């Protein structure tokens, strides 16, 4: 048995996301709690937040995962962007509390030429500030590995471990492992040995107890390409055999698996979820 789902829309009202997740055959699902492509955000309507929590409870599926919007860059050397990014992270942590969502996934941004160490320091400071400003809660912030694009922060396990080590509230931070990003960054997930190696590195440097969610995506780019382009499960460079190894690894099999696969005519979200279950032997 695997817990697999996909990213679903909140169009119309946020509580409608639950029905869409059920229609897709999800065991778990991910949302943006707001428009992901802008800085402006409306406060959550308490009635809609309550309706969302009630719908999740009635559905029997979960956990629910929230994803930070696209624009925030907590590694940015630009003071205005940095402050807006901290505010966005703080606000999203609070929204998760209102919605009863246990996990918030964040990208770590780009240092824009200022250097990896400087970028990591800014990310650590941003997270520490956001936790302090948002107040105590049970929401866990999950740091997502990146694909190795130019100036990106958080590409390697070592990068992630340095950031985790700097967080004051250690119990409030975990890892979201994206398979496409890891493969594009040079981690070979096509073999059982490759999957064992990256999971072993995560365990040694960060601890597998911090690994809470997997973004399950195939890759359009080759191994080590640095290309963040997701593909349908089994149709990319990782391939079906790679996903069999990934899905049968004990560290992965126990986790919520979220597909963020393309929207096109080749395969639906329901089809990708079915493919994951097939490859997992479920």
* From 94, 95, 107, 210, active-site residue: 107
Catalytic residue list contains 37: yes
* From 15, 92, 159, 178, active-site residue: 178
Catalytic residue list contains 144: yes
Distance CA(134)–CA(21), nearest Å, equals 28
Catalytic residue list contains 82: no
* From 7, 67, 111, 172, active-site residue: 67
Structure-block tokens of residue 98: 């209102």
228 burial (CB, 10 Å; 0-12 / 13-18 / 19+) is: buried
Site of tokens 């390697």: 156
Q: Which helix or strand (DSSP H or E) is residue 30 part of?
A: strand 28-31
Catalytic residue list contains 232: no
Structure-block tokens of residue 63: 């956990």
* From 240, 260, 277, 278, active-site residue: 260
Structure-block tokens of residue 256: 């919520």
Distance CA(183)–CA(162), nearest Å, equals 21
* From 92, 228, 231, 269, active-site residue: 228
Torsion angle, alpha carbons of 170, 186, 232, 192, to 10: -90
Distance CA(252)–CA(122), nearest Å, equals 30
Catalytic residue list contains 67: yes
Q: Which helix or strand (DSSP H or E) is residue 125 part of?
A: helix 116-134
Catalytic residue list contains 215: yes
CB proximity list for 91: less than 8 A, separation 6 or greater:
41
CB proximity list for 92: less than 8 A, separation 6 or greater:
33, 34, 66, 68, 69, 104
Distance CA(186)–CA(280), nearest Å, equals 23
* From 111, 162, 215, 237, active-site residue: 215
Catalytic residue list contains 107: yes
* From 181, 210, 232, 237, active-site residue: 181
Catalytic residue list contains 43: no
Are the C-beta atoms of 35 and 71 separated by less than 8 Å?
no
Catalytic residue list contains 110: no
Structure-block tokens of residue 196: 């064992």
* From 70, 83, 136, 266, active-site residue: 70
* From 15, 27, 144, 159, active-site residue: 144
Structure-block tokens of residue 183: 């493969």
Positions marked active-site: 37, 67, 70, 107, 144, 178, 181, 215, 228, 230, 260
């Amino acid at each position: 048995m695997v817990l697999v789902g996909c990213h679903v829309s909140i169009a119309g009202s946020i509580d409608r996301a639950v029905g869409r997740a059920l229609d897709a055959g999800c065991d778990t699902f991910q949302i943006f709690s707001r428009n992901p492509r802008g800085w402006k955000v409306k406060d959550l309507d308490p009635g809609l937040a309550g309706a969302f929590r009630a719908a999740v409870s009635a559905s029997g599926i979960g956990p629910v995962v929230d994803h930070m919007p696209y624009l925030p860059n907590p590694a940015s050397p630009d003071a205005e962007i940095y402050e807006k990014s901290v505010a966005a992270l703080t606000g999203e942590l609070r929204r998760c509390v209102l919605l009863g969502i246990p996990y918030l996934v964040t990208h770590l941004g780009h240092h824009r030429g200022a250097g990896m160490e400087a970028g990591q320091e800014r990310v650590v400071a941003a997270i520490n500030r956001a936790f302090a400003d948002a107040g105590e809660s049970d929401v866990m912030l999950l740091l997502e590995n990146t694909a190795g694009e130019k100036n990106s922060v958080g590409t390697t396990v070592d990068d992630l471990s340095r950031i985790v080590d700097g967080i004051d509230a250690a119990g409030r931070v975990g890892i979201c492992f994206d398979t496409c990003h890891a493969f594009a960054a040079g981690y070979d997930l096509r073999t059982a040995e490759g999957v064992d190696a990256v999971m072993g590195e995560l365990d040694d440097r960060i601890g597998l107890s911090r690994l809470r969610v997997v973004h399950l995506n195939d890759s359009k780019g080759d191994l080590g390409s640095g290309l963040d382009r997701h593909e349908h499960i089994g149709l990319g460079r990782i391939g079906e055999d790679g996903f069999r190894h990934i899905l049968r690894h004990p560290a992965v099999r126990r986790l919520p698996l979220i597909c963020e696969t393309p929207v096109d005519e080749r395969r639906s979200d329901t089809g990708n979820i079915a493919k994951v279950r097939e490859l997992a032997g479920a």
